[in-house]
Amino acid sequence: MDKDLILKLLISPPVAFIVFMVLLTLGYIFIRKRAAKGLDHPEKYLPYSGGQNIPPVEVRLSYEAFFRISLLFGIAHVAVLVLATLSLGKGLHWPGLLFLAGISISALVLSRTK
C-alpha cells in the first residue's frame, strides 16, 4: 500500500476514534490493576473545601434562571466557535470585535438577576 493512503486512513476520524478508544481502554486496564486495593473512605466523594466540613447548601433554580443560564452558555459557545473560525487576514479583525461587543452585551443582559 501507498504510505499516503495508510496515513490518510489512520487520521480519518472513525479509525482515529477506534485507535484512541483501544489505547485508553488498555491504559485504564493497566492502571486499574496497579491501583491501591481497599474500601472507599466515606468522605471520598465529598467536595474538598480546604479541610473544613461544610454542609451542602441546597440551591433550587427557577425555570427562568435555568433557561437564562443555559442560553448564556449556548451564546458563549457559539461565540467562541465563530471567533475561532474568523479569518486572520489584514484588516479583518473589526467584524470579530463588533461581534464580540454584541456578545458581551448579550451576556451582560442575561447575567443580570432580577
Give the span between the Cα atoms of 88 and 79, in whole angstroms.
16
How high does pLDDT run on average in the chain? 84
Distances, alpha carbon 77 to alpha carbons 67, 68, 81, 99, 102, in Å: 15, 14, 6, 13, 14
What pTM does this model have? Answer: 0.46
Among residues 106, 34, 54, 38, the alpha carbon closest in space to that of 77 is found at 106
pLDDT in tens, 85-99: 887 777 777 888 888
What are the sequence ranges of the domains in the chain? 1-36, 61-114
pLDDT for the residue numbered 22: 97
Amino acid 17 reads F
Note the pLDDT of residue 113.
Answer: 63
- Average pLDDT on 55-82 reads 85
